[in-house]
Amino acid sequence: MLASLAALRPRQLASQILSFALVLSTAFMLWKGLSLVTNSPSPIVVVLSGSMEPAFQRGDLLFLWNRSPDAKVGEIVVYNVEGKNIPIVHRVVRNHQGGLPYTKLLTKGDNNHADDVELYARGQFYLNREKEVIGSVVGYIPFVGYVTIMLSEHPWLKTVMLGIMGLMVVLQRE
Amino acid sequence: MTDDNKVPIYSVPDLKNATDDAIAPIFTSLGYTEDHTLTDVRLGLGFFGTAIAAITFAADYKYGFDSTKTLVTVAVALYFLVNTALTVWVWKVQGGVVYSGHNGTKKVKIASKAKKYDPTYHIEVTIQDEKKAPIVRKDDAKFMAWFDEQGHLVRKPLEAFLTQAL
């Protein structure tokens, strides 16, 4: 396999590397484009826990929209607490200060007994709509995100997949 | 290790790729110098786009979403502009050109085509001598003419096919 790579002329090799790079960069730029349109740093997220059952199951793919400045009670939002890198999908149960722009939210998982105060940063009793919420759920596809759960639970799968993808693109010309 | 020069003779894309690759050496031996401009522009556009994406990725990774919004907006627009240019270049300008070169003042450009399940090699040869109007000739032949039973490319008959189109 490597011999067949070495046999390529430099421009051919460059072409094949380019086609692989273009696949990756186009995917990334589409993601960034979507991110700009929705105004969310992460416009598509995967549900990682069962705390919102029966609305969402583990592995559901959620589409977010982050252009409305307020969040109504009953809305499902995704937020990132500073210092913790896992986005949490929970429902707004209280809107402390209805007035903009200092909207403060209280959230709770449908399937949890207690509200989310424990999950927030130390000493904080509310969510900052502007700073911490990365979007409201506007649509979802059940289950298809399960692959990413598999990948994050078994990180070596990522390396294997990326390697196979790369080799395939470089080696085949059709 | 498999024999790398061997082509599965029932696979048309493989036959076509092997033939495309064999054209340049033949023309070199006929005294032509290959002109890489078409490929180089494509590679240039492509890697320029990839570089934009890479810079965007780095900036986003380092500075986060909110502080890079303007930059990323510009980058995304530019990226898709470059990508469109690349697509137009590959489809409209480069077409199916697999060889372009010159011998003295004589310029030759060869575009090739093959239908998916039809083992016929179609070529379109454009010859331009100095300022005269370019001559375009079309020709086709079966791949069997220059591949042996094992799938090795035989140079002589391919060379004959090409020179006769010149």
Contact B76 A24 (CB under 8 A): no
Q: What is the pLDDT confidence band of residue B24, given thresholds at 50, 70 and 90? A: very high
Give percent above pLDDT 70 in chain B: 98
A90 is catalytic: yes
Residue A119, both tokens: 């999950």
Does the CB of B100 have a partner CB in chain A at under 8 Å? no
Lowest mean pLDDT among A17-31, A94-108, B23-37, B101-115: A94-108
Is the Cβ–Cβ distance between B58 and B71 less than 8 Å? no
Give percent above pLDDT 90 in chain A: 44
pLDDT in tens, A98-121: 566 667 899 999 999 999 998 888
Question: How near does any CA of chain B get to the CA of A81, in Å?
Answer: 15
Is the pLDDT at A4 greater than 80? The verdict is no
A116 is catalytic: yes
Residue A42, both tokens: 């992460």
Domain ranges, residue A111: 44-146
* Main-chain phi, psi angles of A77, to 5 degrees: -120, 160
For A112, counting Cβ atoms within 10 Å of its Cβ (0-12 exposed, 13-18 middle, 19+ buried), the class is middle
Mean pLDDT value of segment B21-29: 92
Q: What is the pLDDT confidence band of residue B1, given thresholds at 50, 70 and 90? A: very low
**What's A110's domain CATH number?**
2.10.109
Q: If DSSP codes are grouped into helix, strand and coil, which group holds residue B135?
A: strand
Active-site annotation holder among A116, A136, A152, A154: A116
pLDDT in tens, A37-66: 999 999 999 998 899 989 999 999 999 999
Q: How far apart are CA B23 and CA B5, in angstroms?
A: 15
List all residues 6 or more positions away from A67 whose beta carbon is below 8 Å from its beta carbon. A38, A39
Average predicted confidence (pLDDT) for chain A: 86
Q: Would you say residue A155 lies in a domain?
A: no
Q: Would you say residue A48 lies in a domain?
A: yes
Is the pLDDT at B147 greater than 60? The verdict is yes
Q: Where are the domains of chain B?
A: 12-35+96-165, 39-93
| Between B113 and A8, the higher pLDDT residue | B113
pLDDT of residue A173: 62
Q: How far apart are CA A48 and CA B72, in angstroms?
A: 28
Q: What is the pLDDT confidence band of residue A3, given thresholds at 50, 70 and 90? A: low
Contact B53 A36 (CB under 8 A): no
Helix (H) or strand (E) holding B99: strand B97-103
DSSP state, B134?
Answer: P
Q: Would you say residue A86 lies in a domain?
A: yes
Is the Cβ–Cβ distance between A6 and A32 less than 8 Å? no
Is the Cβ–Cβ distance between A25 and B79 less than 8 Å? yes
Mean pLDDT value of segment A7-36: 89
Is the pLDDT at A174 greater than 60? The verdict is no
Is the Cβ–Cβ distance between A11 and A5 less than 8 Å? no
Q: If DSSP codes are grouped into helix, strand and coil, which group holds residue A91?
A: strand
pLDDT of residue A100: 60
Residue B17, both tokens: 């790729």
Q: With a threshold of 0.90, does the pTM exceed it?
A: no
Q: If DSSP codes are grouped into helix, strand and coil, which group holds residue B130?
A: coil
Least CB-CB distance to A28: which of B13, B53, B65?
A: B53
- Number of domains chain A contains: 1
Is the pLDDT at A131 greater than 60? The verdict is yes
Mean pLDDT value of segment B99-107: 91
Q: What is the pLDDT confidence band of residue A72, given thresholds at 50, 70 and 90? A: confident
